[in-house]
Structure 1
Amino acid sequence: MTLFGGLAGVAGAAAAVRGTSSRRISPYDLLLMTAGTHKLARLMSKDAITSPLRMPFTRYRETGGPGEVMEDVRSEGSLRHAIGELVSCPFCLAVWAATAFSIGFLFAPRFTRVAASALTAIAGADYLQLLYAQLQQSAEGTS
């Protein structure tokens, strides 16, 4: 919490000094940020491909949703446990991701828009894949 508060405080102070603190996030950017935050948080906390990054803080338990894993937090050491709680919780990581996007929109809006757009496209593709699989299962069940 101290790290998060410090980073947000420094970013806020830098925005005030640079005069970027009065920038507003447009409704379009807010939609990009929302979908991008969702995808980034799930990617970092649940995706099988990022499990090596979480390995020092979590233990594999079982397969989760498509392309996802369920992990338990390691209990050795209070810092390791706290980091494990953060990196395995999409709701917890969403706070960090949304804060990073907010800071990005203040200091590097073009880059942030591109990154949020890519994550939004991936999230949309994920939902289309799930919808396709569900429709395919329904069609196979009725034939």
Structure 2
Amino acid sequence: MQRYHPALVALHWLLAVLLFLSLCAGFFLAQRSNADPSKIDGLRIHMAMGMAILALMVVRFVVRLRSAQPPQGQRRWLHQSFYVLVTAMAGTGLATAIVARLNDIVFAGTGEPLPPDLLIFPTRVAHGWIALLLVALIGVHLGQALPRMARMSLGRR
């Protein structure tokens, strides 16, 4: 039986953990007041994870193009959707950081407060909607992958 390249498997699980943590952090941060100075620390972690996720997705894409793959078990649209949504998520996050000057506030330590409401930026609104779409896509992925993993663990590949 053909298997995925070990680097793809490792990247898959590393990205799964980072995406889960980043989505949780994002949903948590969205509920916190921008007037709370401690939110900057949370944003620093969230934004750093987002940059790491984007970099790892590029690496994963290159490895996937250059390695042999087993026959397509899941629909191709699912994998392509992950690439599109994660890239869009990182893009809207980066765009929000630029227009809201978050890079200066969060990473350069300018001491400036966060904007009163990030939802005034269309890129931030899109970032939130993409997060919800990503959660739904993860649900579809789990719905397809978990039964297959259960069959494999029982020896009925």
The TM tier, using the shorter chain, reads 0.3 to 0.5
* Structure-2-length-normalised TM-score: 0.30
TM-score, length of structure 1 as denominator length: 0.32
